[in-house]
Amino acid sequence: MLNKTFGLAIAATVATVAFSGQALARDQIRIVGSSTVFPFSTAVAEAFGSNGSFKTPVVESTGSGGGLKLFCAGDDMNTPDITNSSRRIKKSEVETCAKNGVTEITEVKIGYDGIVLANSKDTKPLELTKKQIFMALAKQVPIDGKLVDNPYKTWSDIDPSLPNVKIEVLGPPPTSGTRDAFVELAMEGGAKEFDLLTELKKSDKKAFKSAAHSIREDGAYIEAGENDNLIVQKLEANKDAVGIFGFSFLDQNSDKLQGSLVGGVEPTFENIADGQYGISRSLFFYVKDTHVGQVPGIQEFIAEFTSEKAFGEFGYLTEKGLIPLTDAEREKVRTDALALAPLKLM
């Protein structure tokens, strides 16, 4: 008796498995990609779904690189329709895409995200320059015309105007898009202010990159995982520590944390939007054009994302911490996106 039930159960499951293997057509948009764009993408997905005409898209947070890998894996219905990215698609990724039959891609730039250095409100805000950020975090720094292992232990070692506390920075691990952008914008920006390194850049690009992009591993920089809330909690507990994360987390925790000034500019909504704040990046999503028309709602989803009520100056995405594009940029992005303009890499 018991055996028969088991047998039936197995047979039923096997039948479902076999059946669902054939059901390839989809009526639900699938989105993958960056964890930074995830909060914005999900907000749009929800608003799009609650209109009632289409199913709510499924949004996975896989990281920018992971998302593009899935996106470029092929053209069939088992691959995602849209991938979010906190950086532009790379040439190599476009090539991988093309090799797997994904040739028509539309790029949609949705806005900016600032990367902030922040500490607890119980202490004074830091006033840093990119050069000082580099000196505090690089694995090797130029001293007396040579690259040596980073000797700085306290902030005041770098510059007497900075507080005499141990350098202790909590930041994202190398798999994170935030880390990529931070290294590229802040660290590389700081590295360029050293003559030794600018010369190195001219003579040996690779060596410059490895010098500028290497973060110290002697305990002063602590990889705190992808969870930015965790960094926020640790900063509350330890007022000497400094954290690196996206602007939206500073925005949500403005009662506990303060952003450090970089180059004299405070990380505020306005300063990031008009480009004064130096460590900010663009956010994108990429659409697989061949899926438009096959999966219902993609066009409408793009329209929702690029509508004024979403990514506009007072749209609901700005409430989630997205920093909007300028009026003219938005207009252009909207027209291009709705026309599914093909991707152009410069």
Partner 1 sequence: MTEQTQDTAGSNWNSEKFTKGLAKRKRAEVRFRRIGLLAILTALTLLAILLFSIFSKGYTAFVQTYVTLDITFSEEVIDRNGTRDPEELRLANYAKLVQNALRAKFPEVTSRRDLRALFSLVSNDAADTLRDMVADDPDLIGRTVPVSLLAGDDVDMVTKGYIDRAAVEDDRRVKDRELAWLDILEADGDISLRFNRGFFTNGDSREPEKAGIAGAMVGSLYTLVITMLIAFPIGVMTAIYLEEFAPRNRFNDLIEVNINNLAAVPSIVFGLLGLAIFLNVAHLPRSAPLVGGLTLALMTLPTIIIAARAAIRAVPDSIRHAALGLGASKQQAAFHHILPLSMPGILTGTIIGLSQALGETAPLLMIGMVAFIADIPGSINDPATVMPVQIFLWADSPERAFVEKTSGAIMVLLGFLILMNALAIFLRRKFERRW
Q: Site residues (CB under 8 A) for partner 1? A: 2-3, 6, 9-10, 12-13, 16-17, 20-21, 23-24, 28, 30, 35, 38-39, 41-43, 45-46, 49-50, 52, 55-56, 58-61, 78, 121, 226-229, 248-249, 251-255, 314, 319-321
Which one, 278 or 321, has the nearer CB to partner 1?
321
| Least distance (Å) between residue 70 CB and partner 1 | 9
What is the token pair recorded at 7? 């047998």
Whose CA is closest to 31, among 48, 53, 17, 50? Answer: 48
Q: How far is the CB of 109 from partner 1 (least distance, A)?
A: 21
CB of 213 to partner 1, least distance (A): 26
The rounded distance, in Å, linking the Cα atoms of 184 and 115 is 11
Closest CA to 220 of 158, 133, 153, 126: 153
Nearer to partner 1, 226 or 240 (CB): 226
Which amino acid, 287? Answer: V
Nearer of residues 6 and 146 to partner 1, judged by Cβ: 6
The sign of the CA dihedral 11, 16, 21, 23 is positive
Exposure of 108 in the CB half-sphere (CA atoms within 13 A): 30
Nearest residue to 152 via CA among 172, 132, 128: 132
Task: Return the number of the residue (150 or 280) whose C-beta is nearest partner 1.
Answer: 280
Distance set, CA 64 to CA 51, 93, 104, 227 (Å): 28, 11, 19, 15
In the bound complex, what is the minimum distance in angstroms from residue 49's beta carbon to partner 1? 5
Contact, 92 vs 64, CB < 8 A? no
Q: Which tokens go with 88?
A: 């532009």
Task: Tell me how far, at minimum, the Cβ of 34 lies from partner 1, in Å.
Answer: 13
CB of residue 311 to partner 1, shortest distance in Å:
15
Q: Toward partner 1, which CB reaches closer, 78 or 335? A: 78
Cβ proximity to partner 1: between 39 and 162 the closer is: 39
